[in-house]
Amino acid sequence: MIDEIALKVLEKRYLARDEAGIPTESVEEMFRRVADHVAAADPSRDRTARRKISDIYFRMMYDLEFLPNSPTLMNAGRDLGQLAACFVLPVEDSLESIFQSIKDTAMIHQSGGGTGFSFSRLRPKGDIVRSTMGAASGPVSFIRVFNMATEVIKQGGTRRGANMGILRIDHPDIEEFITIKTDPAELVNFNLSVAITDEFFEHCRGNKVFTLVNPRNGQAVRKVPALDLMGLIARCAWKSGEPGLVFIDTVNRSNPTPHLGAIEATNPCGEQPLLPYESCCLGSIDCSKVVREGRIDHDKLKVLVHDAVRFLDDTIDAGRYPLEPIKEISRANRKLGLGVMGFAHMLIKLGIPYDSDKAVKAANDLMGFIDDESKKASTELATERGVFPNYKGSIWEKKGIPIRNATTTTIAPTGTLSILAGTSSGIEPVYDTEYSRVLFGGLRVNIVDPLYKKMLDTTRPNRLKGLFRKAYDVSPGWHIGIQKAFQDHVDNAVSKTINLSASATPQDIQSIYIKAYDMGLKGITVFRDTSRDAQILSCRTQQTC
């Protein structure tokens, strides 16, 4: 059942429109358009088989049990035809490479995708440029150029582009990078993350000095106390919510195709580590919709997982690609990102508080089941369609597992998709029972949690309060525990925010970073309430959460 706010979002961003901006299709027609286009990807299907699989795809979307990422809903069966949400582009240490990446970024944003970059290969500010005998301006100056290019390109004509900028902790310009977004006017089209290495954490533990290295020649530039850098990151995150951290060595320990190179960057929200030019289609199952009579219907969930994996594999062949190198490696690795939304609502329906051992166990059980079934589905597809072309040399070949997709699971934030599905976002706790949210174009809408509204007249107030644990009422330890439970069963990474009350300190944040690294997370993002004047989510009462 699509509610009023969801319909408003669909009309503004997803439904086909005429030149006057008037929708020319219904919600049902949109889902049918997507289902028909994706089902037609397999040339071996005859007309009857295509209709059968299209009906399956249509039903799971129309019932809001599974939704693919936004570009698929926007572009499938239409002229753009670009279906992936996540891209990573290389940025090498030359003007030619930098501006080629800016051009490529514009093409991706225009088609509805988001982009991630590592700027770690760029020489530091003040370093010599031999061709002109001038001085380099450094990574941050070029990130500003990418940001400005993004400012003038709207994704698929419906939203401004999103970017992730990553810099290694050992880059000589790391302090400038860490502090840049304490000015809220800077890099408004970028999320920033520091690529943290195992070596850096070892230096923090030993209270040692850490060497910053010029990537152009590998020479040491200067030494900085490692804990000073960690403290600077924590203070900036306390002030602005950025930068986040990507534990890059942890990421590469689970790189499924190490023979193709190391992973250096992720998509804009951090949940999808990718090689240069890789793209990935994501999709999310609303796990709250598989709760039946106080338990998870695993038979229903299994069917959804297998259908969703087939759907996402089809998108790789059904989609058009903005660049030929993206098409080549995306179809050669065939990465998928199946995850969940509605986790908090699922817990509420099961009668489990978010901040509890039972919730952590539920997360482990749920994602363990989904990951196992997604691998079974992918191996079945490999029998039917063949393994992914870059299988030889991959971790899957070494394990002796023939599989269709280099990865199958990811946890995305699902901010907009969860509004469409009328469920809670990703694996986050309920933000609040009533809150305001900033949508596209700065539109602010007031939202009453749909499950809370449904339960209000039939559930005791104390019971409601115990189940609807708000994001800022959940302690950081439980946030991290839930993220860890999901990460243990996810190939790629987990997009999750560790919400902190306004009274949290930089030292609290530093402790969270250490715990996240020690628990094997691939990344961590914190957000202290009221740390930004403009928050996407805020409590209706405007009280400190």
139-151 and 95-110 are packed helices; what angle lies between their axes, rounded to 10 degrees?
30
- Please report, for residues 102, 173, 417, the alpha-carbon distance to residue 16 in angstroms, rounded to integers and kept in the order given: 28, 45, 17
Active site residue 217: no
Instruction: Report the distance separating Cα 508 and Cα 235, nearest Å.
Output: 10
- Please report, for residues 230, 262, 310, the alpha-carbon distance to residue 257 in angstroms, rounded to integers and kept in the order given: 31, 9, 21
The residues near 51 (Cβ < 8 Å, ≥ 6 apart) are 39
Active site residue 267: yes
Which phi and psi (to 5°) does residue 182 adopt?
A: -70, -20
Give, as one character, the DSSP assignment of residue 206.
Answer: T
What does the DSSP assignment read for 395-444?
HHHHHT---S-S--B-B---HHHHHHHTS--TTPPBS-SEEEEE-GGG-E
The three-state secondary structure class of 215 is coil
Q: Which of 163, 267, 333, 405 is catalytic?
A: 267
Active site residue 271: yes
Instruction: Report the distance separating Cα 477 and Cα 106, nearest Å.
Output: 40
Q: Which residues pair with 10 in a beta bridge?
A: none
**348 neighbors 291 (Cβ within 8 angstroms):** no
**247 neighbors 233 (Cβ within 8 angstroms):** no
Q: Which of 86, 204, 236, 269 is catalytic?
A: 269
**60 neighbors 290 (Cβ within 8 angstroms):** no
Output the CA angle 510-361-427, nearest 5 degrees. 60
| Neighbour tally for 507: CB within 10 Å | 12
Tokens linked to 34: 């997507």
The b/e string for 238-247 (b: 16+ C-beta within 10 A; e otherwise) is bbbbbbbbbb
Q: Which of 271, 278, 373, 428 is catalytic?
A: 271
**313 neighbors 330 (Cβ within 8 angstroms):** no
The H-assigned helical ranges of 180-297 are 198-205, 226-240, 248-253
**71 neighbors 112 (Cβ within 8 angstroms):** yes
Which phi and psi (to 5°) does residue 200 adopt?
A: -60, -45
- Start-to-end CA distance of the chain, whole Å, equals 31
Instruction: Report the distance separating Cα 8 and Cα 23, nearest Å.
Output: 11
Output the CA angle 188-189-192, nearest 5 degrees. 85
Sheet (strand 434-438) strand order: 444-448, 434-438, 537-539
Active site residues: 267, 269, 271
